Structure 1
Amino acid sequence: MNRTELEKYIRNSYGTEPDYPWIKYPNYGVFRHSSNKNGLPGADENKNEP
């Protein structure tokens, strides 16, 4: 199973879309349970940097 197939499986099975919270790692996605949309501490800390 490759990344695309895994993402499709997660979308179809759990009805969630990936979130890409890290600016340094734009290809690192996370799928969150619908009851956990608060994010991670510090995930947005670098968003205001140039």
Structure 2
Amino acid sequence: MHLFIRATDAGAPPYLYAGPMTYRGHEGERPMRILWDLAHPLPADVFHYAKVNTG
């Protein structure tokens, strides 16, 4: 699997490629939460953006 992040800021590229992911596990049913490990850490600004938007 590969992770692409969509930025909503005006003028930003439509998608940012964050790299390959490896399945780590899952929990729950409806909704099911899937846990992934990224092969490479996200850059600090992207990590902050993703963290802010996911809660």
Greater fraction of residues in strand = 2
Verify same fold: TM over 0.5: no
Query: What TM-score do you get using the length of structure 1 for normalisation?
Result: 0.31
